[in-house]
Amino acid sequence: MFPLRVPIFAVLVSLTVGQYDDYDYQPASQYGPSSANCAQECECPINFPTAMYCDSRNLKFVPIVPSGIKYLYLQNNLIEEIKAGVFDNVTAELRWLVLDHNQITNEKVAKGTIDKLTGLHKILFSFNKLTEAVIPPSKSLDELKMMNNQLSKFPAGSLAGMQNLTSVHLQNNELTSKALNGVFKGLNKLVAIDLTNNKLKKLPSGMPSSLETFYGDHNDISSIAAGDLKELPKLAYLRLAYNQMTDAGIPAGVLNVTSLIELDLSYNKLQSIPEINEQLEHLYLQVNQINKFNLENICKFSGPLNYSRLKTLRLDGNNLTHADLPHDSSNCLRQASDIIFD
C-alpha cells in the first residue's frame, strides 16, 4: 500500500465536483437568472431553459411542470407524493426525471403521472420508500436507477420493448430471483445490471446476450446453473462476492467462459479453485475455504502458446500459503504480477 498524500484541498474539490455526477448536473446558480416559464418553487435558468431545478428546497410535493421542460431535478427534498396532473404538460417531452433522496411510496404515486411519460430517457428514483418498481412507458429509456429502496416486486413485462435501455441499477433492495425472472429478456442493448445486496438465490433467468457486466455481491446465491452463462457471450465482469457459493454449486466448466475478464467469488464457501478460462485477467477468491492450489483449473495445458492471462489472483484468507504454489506454475502464470496469499 502506498501512503495517501493527496492534499485535502484536492479531495474537497473532487467531492464537490463529483456530487452531481449521476445527473450531469450543474447548479442553477451557474446559469444566471431564472426564466418566467417555471414553477415558482424552482429555478429555470434563461441560459438553460429546458431544465427546472427544484432540488434541495424542502419540497413535500412535485410542482406542476410547465411545457418546454426536458430535465427535471427534484433530488434531496422531502417529497412524499406525486399528484395527478403534475406532468400533464410534458408527457412526451420530459427526458430526465431525478427523484433521488425523497420519501416517496408507491401508494403516493398517482396514476397518470410517471405512467404517462412516454419520452423519458433517464429515471433516477433512488433512496426513497418504493416497494415495487415504477417504470415509465418510454421506449427511449436508456438508464434506470432505483437503488436503496425497499423493492420486492418488479412488474412482469414492464421493460418489454425498451430497446434503448443500457443500464439497470437496483442495488440495496429486497428483490428475489423469482421477482426478476424474465424481466430483462429481449433487452438487446442492456450491458450492465447491478443487483448488489438483494435477496437473490440464483442468477435471474432471461438476461440478454448483450450483457457485459453483472454485479450480484451480497446476496444468497449458492449455485450457478450449467446454462446460466452460455447465453451471455459478451459477459466480461461477473461479481458474486459475499454469497453462499460452494464447489458443488459450480458445475464443471460453467465459469470457463472466454469473454470473462474479471471474476469475483471472494467471501464465499469454496474449497477449491474453480475451472476458469485462460483469457481471464482478474480472479478474486479471497476469504473462502480453499486448501489446494488447483493449477489444472487455471491452465489445462502449459506451453509457449498455452498459458493463463491472469494478472491478479487473490487467495488471501484461505488455507493456502505461497508454499502451496505448484513448482511448475511459472509457465502457466507467467503474466500474473499480483498473486496474494496473505
- Dump the DSSP string for 302-318: -SSS-----SEEE-TTS
Per-residue pLDDT of the chain (342 residues; tens, 9 = 90+): 333 333 333 333 333 334 445 666 666 566 556 677 899 999 999 999 999 999 999 999 999 999 999 999 999 999 999 999 999 999 999 999 999 999 999 999 999 999 999 999 999 999 999 999 999 999 999 999 999 999 999 998 999 999 999 999 999 999 999 999 999 999 999 999 999 999 999 999 999 999 999 999 999 999 999 889 999 999 999 999 999 999 999 999 999 999 999 999 999 999 999 999 999 999 999 999 999 999 999 998 777 778 999 999 999 999 999 999 998 899 999 999 989 998
**pLDDT digits 0-9 by tens, 286-322:** 999 999 999 999 998 777 778 999 999 999 999 999 9
User: What pLDDT, on the 0 to 100 scale, is given for residue 312?
Assistant: 97
**pLDDT value at residue 27:** 62
The pLDDT value recorded for residue 7 is 36
pLDDT of residue 304: 75
Please say whether the dihedral angle defined by the alpha carbons of residues 6, 7, 8 and 12, taken in this order, is positive or negative.
negative
CB 135 within 8 A of CB 106: no
What is the pLDDT, as a whole number, of residue 327?
Answer: 86
Q: Which three cell numbers stand for residue 71?
A: 430535465
The answer for residues whose C-beta is within 8 angstroms of residue 138's C-beta and 6 or more apart is 117, 118, 119, 120, 121, 162
Residue of 60, 100, 108 lying closest to 84 (CA atoms): 108
Query: So what's the pLDDT on residue 26?
Result: 60
Q: Per-residue pLDDT tens for 196-238?
A: 999 999 999 999 999 999 999 999 999 999 889 999 999 999 9
Residue 286: Cβ within 10 Å count: 20
